[in-house]
Structure 1
Amino acid sequence: MGISDNIKILRERYGLTQQELAEIAEVTNKAVSAWESGISEPRMGAIEKIAKKFNLKKSNIIEDNGMVISDGELPYTIAAHFDGDDYTEEELQEILKYAKYIKSKRK
């Protein structure tokens, strides 16, 4: 899994459209589509904007399996998703477990 997969995982994890991610990265939605399909890769400026918005390391976007969450690992992205809310680590773990439960019910 490379940059294209990481970008798609990030976008889907936050429930964003390609257009919404494009606005964050200050590019076109066609650019995001090209990134996800592996036709092109984002420039470092776009990667930095995405990483900053979601409180991620740039390596999460660039490196193979950078957006994969291991069982029991609390991703930085959960805290970023609830920006402004003061959740404890225990509460964030519960949110992660619930998200996994919801995903398990998908057909």
Structure 2
Amino acid sequence: MKFNERLKELREKSKLTQEQLAKISGVSSRMIQRYEYGTSRPRLDAAEKLAKALNVTTDQLLGNGDMLVAQAAEKYGSRGAKQAQQLTEEVTGLFAGGEMAQEDMDVMMKAIQDAYWIAKEKNKKYTPKKYRSEE
């Protein structure tokens, strides 16, 4: 399930309108609308606010793939988020139609995420200065 579907499902399960969720979370109703339509992805801080308002963990709200994208965006900007998004789409394709148990898929996804972060750190010294974020 994609983030936008998960957000809408959790909001409706909590019997909240987009406006009510906005008021509770502190995230604008316009952004919630964009998240639910799938035209935007939340930054990690916004996802944390929404998760708290919906009484779920950030992991539950974002899921493994979207959590990686949010963390990559937070740490490496839009370029990192795009790379993480491509990675999760490719990995998700590997799982489609397979007979692997959900638990095994979660372990595999976690291992791939760990490998992604290690590679990003190792390749940091090779990133052109104009793409490096200030830390």
TM-score by length of 1: 0.54
Partners in 2 of 1:61 and 1:40 — Cα distance?
Answer: 15
Shift of residue 2, structure 1, vs aligned partner: 1.2
Gaps (5+ residues) in structure 1?
A: 65-107
Partner SS state of residue 12, structure 2? helix
- CA shift, 1:56, in A, is 1.6
* Deviation, structure 1 residue 41: 1.1
Aligned to 1:61: 61
8 Å Cα contact 1:18-1:29 kept in structure 2 = yes
Number of the residue aligned with 1:14 = 14
Moved more, 49-58 or 20-29: 49-58
Structure 1 residues 51-60 or 34-43, which shifts more? 51-60
Q: Which amino acid aligns with 2:49?
A: K
Partner SS for 1:63: helix
Shift of 1:54: 3.4
What one-letter code is carried by the residue in structure 2 that aligns with 1:40?
S
TM-score (norm 2): 0.43
Matched with 1:4 is: 4
Higher helix share: 2
Q: How many residues align?
A: 64
Alpha-carbon displacement from aligned partner over 1:20-49 (angstroms, at most 9, x marks no partner): 111223122111110000000112112112
Please give the alpha-carbon distance, in whole angstroms, between the structure 2 residues aligned to 1:55 and 1:8: 14
Alpha-carbon RMSD:
1.5
Gaps of 5+ in 2: 65-135
Q: Would you identify which runs of 4 or more consecutive aligned residues in structure 1 move more than 4 Å?
A: none
Cα deviation 1:51-101 (Å, max 9, x = unaligned):
22333221111117xxxxxxxxxxxxxxxxxxxxxxxxxxxxxxxxxxxxx
Taking only the aligned residue pairs, the percentage that are identical comes to: 36
Measure the CA separation in 2 of the matches of 1:52 and 1:17.
16
Q: Distance in 2 between matches of 1:43 and 1:20?
A: 20
Q: Write the distance in 1 (CA, Å) between the matches of 2:32 and 2:52.
A: 17
